[in-house]
Amino acid sequence: MSQPTEGMGTETSRYAEFIACAFITLIAIAAIVNSRYFPLSGLEMDVGPARFPVIYAGVLLILAAVLVYNTLRRSTVQKAEVVPASSFNFVPVVIGIVATGIYIYLIPLLGYLPPTVVFLIGMMWLMGMRHRLWNPVIAIGITLFLYLVFLFGLSIPLPMGSLFEIGSI
């Protein structure tokens, strides 16, 4: 009979989840408080810069509450397989962080669309979704959906990129 190890379902894991929930809740509350100083659009039904963070913060609060509920509901004596820290591969994490930095750097230069498609394809590949057809299709779909939401739904244009700006002749 094996001894239970620390992992999903142990007291240590539950405390970690509660700490994460508290941290997420604090971030959401800070976003709501700081959004009071954002300019209002003047239209009652418009989702302007002041309401946008409140919507996301509200979703964060709901998700944190769901995580607390699921953590409390879960039995404390669940057995789980734990991967030792020595066998964790940090290379994909470092690649993801570097790729995110490059992506953020390229947006002002190339605009939103090209770097986002390439970034999403790369991140899906890095996380194990390695389909040559579906990765680009999903990446293009997500990119276009977000572009249209920002452009038409929120009336916020996304960067076109300084390399594509036409100067005066």
For helices 91-110 and 113-126, give the axis angle rounded to 10 degrees: 170
**Domain match, 116 and 156 both:** yes
pLDDT at 48: 66
**Domain match, 130 and 97 both:** yes
Pick the last residue of a domain from 29, 46, 73.
Answer: 73
Q: Is residue 53 part of a domain?
A: yes
Domain that holds residue 17: 11-73
pLDDT at 77: 46
Q: Is residue 1 part of a domain?
A: no
**Domain match, 69 and 95 both:** no
**Domain match, 54 and 110 both:** no
Tokens 């996301």 — which residue? Answer: 56
**Domain match, 31 and 58 both:** yes
Q: Is residue 168 part of a domain?
A: no
Q: Which of 61, 69, 50 is nearest to 22 (CA)?
A: 61
Q: Is residue 136 part of a domain?
A: yes
- Whether residue 68 contacts residue 18, with contact meaning beta carbons closer than 8 Å, is answered with yes
Q: Is residue 6 part of a domain?
A: no
For residues 112-125, one letter each, b for 16 or more C-beta atoms within 10 angstroms of the residue's C-beta and e for the rest, the string is bbbbbbbbbbbbbe
Q: Is residue 169 part of a domain?
A: no
Q: Is residue 80 part of a domain?
A: no
pLDDT truncated to tens, each residue of the chain (169 aa)?
444 444 444 666 777 888 888 888 999 898 888 888 777 666 666 666 677 788 888 999 999 999 888 888 875 545 455 556 566 677 888 888 899 999 989 888 888 888 999 999 999 998 888 888 888 999 999 999 988 888 887 777 788 877 766 654 4
Q: Which of 146, 165, 160, 144 is nearest to 110 (CA)?
A: 160
For residue 152, give the H/E element and its range. Answer: none
Q: Is residue 120 part of a domain?
A: yes
User: Count of domains in the chain?
Assistant: 2
